[in-house]
Amino acid sequence: MNIHEYLGAELLRSKGIPTGSGKVAQSLDEGLKIAHELSYPVVLKAQVLSGGRGKAGGVKIAKTEDEFRAHFQHIHGMKLKDCIVQKIFVVKAMKILKEVYLAMTFDYSKNALVLIGSAAGGMDIEKVAAVSPEKIHKLYLKANTVPSEKKLREFSQKIFQDPEDVEAGVFTFSRIHQLFLEKDCSLIEINPFALTDKGEWIAADAKFTFDDNALFRHESVSAMRDLAMEDQDEIKAREMNLSFVKLDGDIGCVVNGAGLAMATLDIVKLMGGNPANFLDVGGSSNPQKMVNALQLILRNPKVKGILINIFGGITRCDDIANGLIQALSELDMKLPYVVRLTGTNEKEAREILAQQKIPCFSTMREAVTKIIERSKN
Ligand code: GDP
Ligand code: MN
């Protein structure tokens, strides 16, 4: 789960990390009031749950009320990465002298937590990482260990030069590390960590991602969720207890088991198709799950065909077949679909499907080739 910058800034402040002062506005009047209180110049920042807002025109400085009105009206309601901007964070503008990148996340390939820092922070950090990776510094940490101050200082010295700035780095990294563990984050990113002309280091942006599986133990974090910014199909899927991720292709996939679901996406891609989603209907054999899954997929107007790929283990193929037949009788299914079933009670499943003249494949390759072909027509 991601949260808005203005809420991330609150979390940083709760740990003593300075941020710009500001408030979030939903309407122009509210925004004007905040700007007036802060006094101009102020920065208007679109609140959406993804980065790259600056480059997309979602961050603007207003020196006067007239400029504020113009920027607010432009940003409010604008579409940024598929989301309509509803909230604008209004912050006191500061002259920024230096922009540094600070972050903490997991490195799964190293089985470690990692602190990341670069003196080349700002909006081009992705380019820096691609072109001059030596400018990105990393400190790997074992889970459940606290880095010593000495270690943090050595690390901070790679990013900052002036001894006072190094200390600001040590403090901020140690607080990011505390927050990360306390709140079960999977990413904290401050970019830019900015040096102002008043000589103060502030977090001028705050990006937080939380581990969905740990949200149950952080009510205060769950309360920060902004459902309006999330994909409506993914919200629906959560309500139905289905593990679902929307993708941008046109072949809907219904699969049992996360591993098989991943493999299915790979094979669809490999055979020249584009999956519309990841969907794991799980191990149980409740036919209703099949109805829910198909209903969910049919909500996406991009979908041109549906691939049902089941490997029967605990899940029994005959239950899936019955679920499918129930779903077909309840839903208005006009799209082509292909079924691949193998494993427990495969024979019974095939008989059930044959009675309804539903063709069924036993290899993934056949089924995937077929659905790609059929969804093209
Ligand atoms: P992002 O593009 O989504 O990462 O949004 P940021 O919050 O990082 O803002 C983009 C850029 O706007 C930053 O890199 C800064 O250069 C600039 N910016 C953000 N806040 C301020 C501010 O308070 N004052 C000034 N002068 N620039 C800011
Ligand atoms: Mn940023």
Residue nearest to atom 6 of ligand 1 (CA): 205
Choose the CATH number for 231-376 among 2.40.50.140, 3.40.190.10, 3.40.50.261, 3.40.640.10.
Answer: 3.40.50.261
Name the CATH superfamily housing domain 21-92: ATP-grasp fold, A domain (3.30.1490.20)
The residue annotated as part of the active site, out of 5, 6, 99, 189, is: 189
The bound ligand whose nearest atom lies closest to the alpha carbon of 121 is 1
C-beta 53 within 6 A of ligand 1:
yes
Mutate to test the pocket of ligand 1, among 19, 44, 123 (most ligand atoms within 8 A of CB): 123
C-beta 20 within 6 A of ligand 1:
yes
> Which residue ranges does the chain devote to CATH 3.30.1490.20?
21-92
C-beta 317 within 6 A of ligand 1:
no
Which atom of ligand 1 lies closest to the CA of 96? Answer: 26
What is the pLDDT at residue 289?
85
What is the pLDDT at residue 186?
97
How much distance in Å is there from the Cα of 338 to the middle of ligand 1?
49
DSSP H or E segment with residue 104: strand 96-107
Task: State the angle between helix axes of 317-330 and 346-355 in degrees (0 to 180), rounded to the nearest 10.
Answer: 20
Which atom of ligand 1 lies closest to the CA of 5? Answer: 7
Residue nearest to atom 10 of ligand 1 (CA): 54
CA 281/CA 313 separation, integer angstroms: 13
CA 325/CA 328 separation, integer angstroms: 5
C-beta 204 within 6 A of ligand 1:
yes
Angstrom CA distances, 81 to 27, 57, 209, 237, stand at 21, 12, 17, 21
> Which residue ranges does the chain devote to CATH 3.40.50.261?
231-376
C-beta 90 within 6 A of ligand 1:
no
- The one-digit pLDDT tens for each residue of the chain (377 residues) are 999 999 999 999 999 999 999 999 999 999 999 999 999 999 999 999 988 999 999 999 999 999 999 999 999 999 998 789 999 999 999 999 999 999 999 999 999 999 999 999 999 999 999 999 999 999 999 988 899 999 999 999 999 999 999 999 999 999 999 999 999 999 999 999 999 999 999 999 999 999 999 999 999 999 999 998 888 888 899 888 889 999 999 999 999 999 999 999 999 999 999 999 999 987 666 778 888 999 999 999 999 999 999 998 888 899 889 989 999 999 888 999 999 999 999 999 999 999 999 889 989 999 999 999 999 97
How much distance in Å is there from the Cα of 305 to the middle of ligand 1?
43
How much distance in Å is there from the Cα of 5 to the middle of ligand 2?
9
Query: Which of 116, 118, 84, 78 lies closest to 98, judged by CA?
Result: 118
CA 362/CA 343 separation, integer angstroms: 9
What is the pLDDT at residue 49?
93
C-beta 57 within 6 A of ligand 1:
no
In the residue annotation, 101 being an active-site residue is answered as yes
> Which residue ranges does the chain devote to CATH 3.30.470.20?
96-222
The residue annotated as part of the active site, out of 6, 99, 101, 346, is: 101
pTM of the model: 0.84
Concatenate the DSSP letters of all residues of 207-231 into one string: EEEE-GGGGGG-HHHHTT--GGGS-
C-beta 206 within 6 A of ligand 1:
no
What is the pLDDT at residue 285?
63
CATH 3.30.1490.190 fits 96-222, yes or no: no
